[in-house]
Amino acid sequence: MRAWLSDPLRTAAMSPSGPQLARLMVAQVPQGSGPIIELGAGTGVFTEALLAAGVMPERLLVVELNRSLHGILRQRFPQVRVECADACCVLDLAARCGIAPGSVDAIVSGLGLLSMPRLAVTQVIEASSRLLGARGRLIQFTYGPLSPVPRVLAARLGLRARRAGLAWRNMPPATVYVYSVDVARAPGV
């Protein structure tokens, strides 16, 4: 709540995501051995759910821009690599962490795409699509009624969207979308 009050445009929600939303998000992560990146980790609700679901800490890269929340995450999850960085720079950050483009199994996003500037959304989604492997998925929730990734952007990047479900008990209720690279429509294919 304090983070939201101090900068509501950078902190998407007034309160942490609930357990129902966390379970729905984590259920979309494909089984595999590749890296998983979490964007906009906040207080670590999704981080905790990923670890509880059996994701090995060394597979997980957690990104949080807010310095206070970053500090909380580092204390809560000392076994996980937690970086204080802007999600717009995730491609460069992943490279510095030894994560190659096309190798990521999942990007779990807690970013408030609807409250972000369009350029920032474009940068995050473009970088995410480059990081995803053939079976990789970008998992994003929204409080809005429609997909938070603009259709034009998804089409340009060859991303296929699927509505995975609605977490009614989350406050406010949230819809989860899963984006995957449609090999037939991806640029350069």
User: Is residue 187 a part of any domain in this protein?
Assistant: no
pLDDT tens for each residue of 55-85: 999 999 999 999 999 999 999 999 999 999 9
Domain limits at 176? 2-181
Structure tokens at 84: 């204080």
Taking phi first (over 0 means left), then psi (-120 to 50 degrees means alpha), and beta for anything else, what does residue 44 get?
A: left
Torsion angles phi and psi, residue 133, rounded to 5: -80, 180
Residue 100 domain-assigned (yes or no): yes
Confirm whether 125 is domain-assigned: yes
> 131 in a domain, yes or no?
yes
81-84/104-109 β-pairing: unpaired
Does a structural domain hold residue 12? yes
Judge contact between 41 and 110, C-beta under 8 A: yes
Length of the chain: 189
Has residue 3 got a pLDDT over 50? no
Confidence of residue 186 (pLDDT cuts 50, 70, 90): low
**CATH code: domain of residue 15:** 3.40.50.150
Residue whose pair of structure tokens reads 């609807």 in the numeric block: 114
Instruction: Evaluate if pTM is beyond 0.85.
Output: yes
The helix (run of H) or strand (run of E) holding residue 26 is: helix 19-26
Please report whether residue 188 resides in a domain: no
* Residue 102 scores a pLDDT above 90: yes
Residue 105 lies in a domain: yes
Pick the closest to residue 139 from 163, 156, 119 (CA basis): 163
Domain count, the chain: 1
